[in-house]
């Protein structure tokens, strides 16, 4: 039962591998993005050129975007500004309030919103709780906040099983 809440709709190795045109074809109009180890490597000061270009592809496809981060410092604001998208800080994911705030900022309901994140117990669980189309990506770096490293140990126990479920569903 709990595995259902931790299973994303889709798995892609990297955020830049998510096809904006496919999202649009699937009825998605907005994208909620996790920050650390999804959009940028943990503690990176700025997005890569590949991520900047991907966010531009989102815009050209007509999609809105918003970053949702558990972080509460200035760095997430600077990254969001560099990408030209809004940010919701101190999210306390997977608690749904920040996801709902991001959807309000974009003006898009959950059923037309995708969430892209690298963690099952924060990003995917939170997105599934509010009814978003969830996409799991691999973390960009093994460097992380100490508590995240602890959660990753538990996540490793279910991550492979979750990815197997997604891939089996995609083959069917």
User: What does the angle CA 66 – CA 107 – CA 129 come to, to the nearest 5 degrees?
Assistant: 70
Which residue segments constitute the domains of the chain, with CATH numbers given? 2-171 (3.40.50.1000)
The confidence score (pLDDT) of residue 33 equals: 98
Residues 6+ apart with CB under 8 A from 125: 5, 6, 93, 94
More confident residue, 34 or 145: 34
pLDDT tens string 42-58: 888 999 999 999 999 99
Judged by DSSP in three states, 55 sits in: helix
User: What does the angle CA 108 – CA 128 – CA 33 come to, to the nearest 5 degrees?
Assistant: 55
Helices 49-60 and 74-83 meet at what angle, rounded to 10? 60
Residue whose token pair is 């892209």: 116
Query: Phi and psi of 88, rounded to 5°?
Result: -115, 120
Q: Where are any strands of DSSP class E within 25-86?
A: 30-34, 64-68
Closest CA to 96 of 119, 116, 74, 124: 124
pLDDT tens string 64-115: 999 999 888 889 999 999 999 999 999 988 999 999 999 999 999 999 999 9
């Amino acid at each position: 039962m709990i595995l259902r809440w931790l299973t994303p709709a889709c798995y892609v190795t990297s955020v830049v591998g998510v096809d904006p045109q496919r999202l649009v074809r699937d009825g998605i109009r907005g994208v909620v993005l996790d920050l650390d180890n999804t959009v940028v490597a943990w503690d990176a000061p700025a997005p890569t050129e590949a991520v900047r270009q991907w966010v531009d592809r989102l815009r050209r496809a007509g999609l809105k975007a918003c970053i949702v981060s558990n972080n509460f410092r200035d760095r997430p604001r600077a990254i969001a500004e560099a990408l030209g998208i809004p940010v919701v800080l101190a999210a306390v994911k997977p608690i749904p309030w920040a996801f709902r705030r991001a959807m309000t900022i974009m003006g898009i309901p959950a059923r037309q919103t995708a969430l892209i994140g690298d963690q099952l117990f924060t990003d995917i669980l939170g997105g599934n709780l509010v009814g978003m189309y969830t996409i799991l990506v691999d973390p960009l770096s093994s460097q992380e906040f100490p508590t995240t490293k602890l959660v990753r140990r538990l996540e490793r126990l279910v991550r492979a099983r979750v990815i197997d479920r997604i891939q089996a569903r995609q083959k069917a």
